[in-house]
Structure 1
Amino acid sequence: MDNTIKTIGLSGTCYWCTEAIFLSLHGVTKVEQGWLSSVGEHDWFSEGIIVTYMPEVISLKNLISIHLHTHSSTNIHSMRDKYRSAVYAMEPYQMTEIKHNLALLQDEFDTPLITRAYTFNQFKLSDESIQNYYYSDPKRPYCKNIITPKLKNLLDSHAHLMNKNKLSIEHNKTILLS
């Protein structure tokens, strides 16, 4: 069993949404939101998160699956430069596993995935005042109207991976399981 802590970068939609989704999972120990850049052709910064996780609790495949199912991973739209659909390898050995999982998970979609594997280059942390955006005040209009519905959908499809204690008791502020 792998007892190490690992990190992975993800981008594809607003970092407030992505941060809330991944903070809600068993085995995720930390999520930082900001901007990620990659090495090579697509080297500009894109909104995203860095996820620190315990692979013995949640697999990379499950993290990628949740990522693909919680943003428009098959849709090219006008905001793709800001919200690049990507999984970032933090270590060279991760690239093969990421590409393998993206290929396996393609079967869950009717149209081709646009999500790509990139080599992580750099990260710029967003302002401290917006870190932990959802869980610091889930009753904000953006949280109630955008993030909470995504979390409810995730609870329907991936309940076994979600930390229900976090969703129901975080300072008695959440509206998901109350």
Structure 2
Amino acid sequence: MEKIGFGGGCHWCTEGVFQALKGVLQVAQGFIQSEAPSDTWAEGVIVSFDPGVVSLEILAEVHLRTHSANGTYSPGGRYRSAIYVFEAEQRDTAMRAIARFATETGAASRTLVLPFLGFKPSDGRYQNYYRTDPSRPFCRRYIDPKLNYIRRHFAEVALPDATDRAP
């Protein structure tokens, strides 16, 4: 099992995205901290995964394609487009994925590769947000389109239904 952190937009969405993938064993939703100047707590998830089932390369690509990796919106700095690495070897993989994404989209990515320093879980009522009630208007509007994208473009690692596994 390996761990990697992802930040980009709302952690409800990010959690739902990674829970929809084969090989993802756990997704912890909350706030991640890195070193200065990215030391403010920002929304994110810690993904525990089986690299024999889903690679870090695929996880990074899914992340880059399911949030605004090229945008600049970040109210109060709480949304940071980032890949938080736990091990030095993960840095190179993340950097290659970002470079490939920028080449394919023709736009520079603002996604940072940062060392993971700390994590605070979000309030329990927000955990497993999509799985507990996928019919919420927020889920329908923001998370469902991302899950549909994953099923179309990452079918080999997509679960048939994101609510298939128990939280």
Task: State TM-score, norm by structure 2.
Answer: 0.92
C-alpha separation between the residues in 2 aligned to 1:65 and 1:159?
13
Matched positions, count = 166
77-86 or 126-135, larger mean C-alpha shift: 77-86
C-alpha separation between the residues in 2 aligned to 1:145 and 1:94?
32
Specify the alignment match of 1:9 in structure 2.
5
Q: Displacement of 1:147 after TM fit?
A: 1.1
20-29 or 80-89, larger mean C-alpha shift: 80-89
Specify the alignment match of 1:167 in structure 2.
162
Q: Does 1:136 align with 2:136?
A: no
In structure 2, stretches of 5+ residues that fail to align are none
Q: Write the mapping of 1:99-178 to structure 2, written as runs, cut at 5 A.
A: 99-164=95-160, 166-167=161-162, 169=164
- The residue type equivalent to 1:108 in the other structure is E
Q: Displacement of 1:144 after TM fit?
A: 1.6
Specify the alignment match of 1:35 in structure 2.
31
Shift >3 Å, 4+ stretches: 166-171
Structure 1 or 2, whichever has the larger Rg, is 1
Specify the alignment match of 1:47 in structure 2.
43
Question: 1:100-141 deviations in whole A, cap 9, x for unaligned?
Answer: 332233222121111010001100001122111101111111
C-alpha separation between the residues in 1 aligned to 2:88 and 2:74?
31
In structure 1, stretches of 5+ residues that fail to align are 172-178
Q: Displacement of 1:151 after TM fit?
A: 1.0
Question: 1:19-72 deviations in whole A, cap 9, x for unaligned?
Answer: 011000010000010000102321111000000001111111100000000001
Specify the alignment match of 1:176 in structure 2.
none
Specify the alignment match of 1:94 in structure 2.
90
C-alpha separation between the residues in 1 aligned to 2:64 and 2:88?
22
8 Å CA contact 2:4, 2:46 repeated in 1 = yes
Structure with the larger RCO, 1 or 2 (CA within 8 Å, 6+ apart)? 2
Indicate the percent of aligned positions where both proteins have the same amino acid: 37
- The residue type equivalent to 2:94 in the other structure is I
User: Taking structure 1 as reference, are residues 169 and 57 closer, same or farther at Cα in structure 2, changes over 3 Å only?
Assistant: closer
C-alpha separation between the residues in 1 aligned to 2:46 and 2:163?
24
C-alpha separation between the residues in 1 aligned to 2:149 and 2:76?
23
